[in-house]
Structures are given as structure tokens and as C-alpha cells.
Amino acid sequence: MATVGGSLTHKDLEQTIAASAARTATFTSDDFQNIDSAKGGHLIVDVTAGTGFNLTPKIQGKDSVSGKYYDLLIGVAITATGTTVLKIYPGIAVSPNVAASDILPRTWRVVVTAADATSATYSVGVSLAL
């Protein structure tokens, strides 16, 4: 399992969560610490190669007491090359599997679940909004 993560500072409001690579298994990022109190943002999944794959991206928050993760937004299944954007921000119009009117908590992560071992080449980036 490849992981990326850390603390995001004001200068890091745009970050690479997962560099472009061929993957055949579920990707789970390390925890990100929302130290600048970003309210939300865009998660961008860019699939550039592969056929027959099925990927489901999600943004999860982490409960600081129990250490358990909870889903903030589960994206639509990605089955073709192209760019998919998940949006989370308080007050935006809700669209199932695309946009959630919610806040980005202090600790969060990204999971891209692979339905099987079919290879797909993709990257994951984030653009946060204060």
C-alpha cells in the first residue's frame, strides 16, 4: 500500500496526494493534518491509462478520540480514463457522490478503493480552500 501524507501549511494548499503511477490495489494516504483550518476543497483523481478497472475515491475524517475513520464523501465509481473531482465545502450544493456540504476536519485522509487487481494509472491531488 503506497502512502503519502503529512501536515499542510498555508503554502501547501495544493498538494500531491498520490503521484501518477500504475496501481492494482487500494491506495490509502497517510493522515493529513489540517493545520491551516482549510474548510474544504477539491480532490482531483486523474486516470490516464487502463481498461476494465473500477476505482472508488473517498475522503475520510478521523475521530481524534477513537482513532476511527468516517466517510465524508464517497465518489462515483471511476471506470474510464479522465479527471474526476470531488468537492467538499460548507454551504455548497450537495450532489450525491460528487459534492458534500461539510467541513474538512482537523485530520483527514484519502482512500481510492480498487474493485479488483486490474491496473489503472492515476494521480490524486488536492486543492484546499480556506
pLDDT value of position 1: 36
pLDDT value of position 8: 53
Architecture category of domain 14-124 in CATH: Sandwich (2.60)
pLDDT value of position 7: 58
Partners of 75 in beta bridges: none
Q: Is 11 helix (H, G, I), strand (E, B) or coil?
A: helix
User: What is the end-to-end Cα distance of the chain in Å, rounded?
Assistant: 30
Q: Whose CA is closest to 112, among 66, 82, 76?
A: 76
Cβ atoms of 14 and 127 closer than 8 Å: yes
d(CA 124, CA 93): 23
What are the tens digits of pLDDT across the range 94-119?
999 999 999 999 999 999 999 999 99
d(CA 41, CA 21): 23
What global pTM score does this model have? 0.91
d(CA 110, CA 57): 7
Tell me the pairing of strands 6-8 and 69-74.
unpaired
Taking the chain (130 residues) in runs of 10, the rounded mean pLDDT of each run is 50 88 98 87 98 98 98 98 98 98 96 98 96
Q: Where are the domains of the chain?
A: 14-124
pLDDT value of position 41: 95
d(CA 123, CA 35): 24
Rounded to 10 degrees, what is the CA torsion of 110, 115, 120, 126?
-10
Rounded to 10 degrees, what is the CA torsion of 65, 70, 72, 76?
160
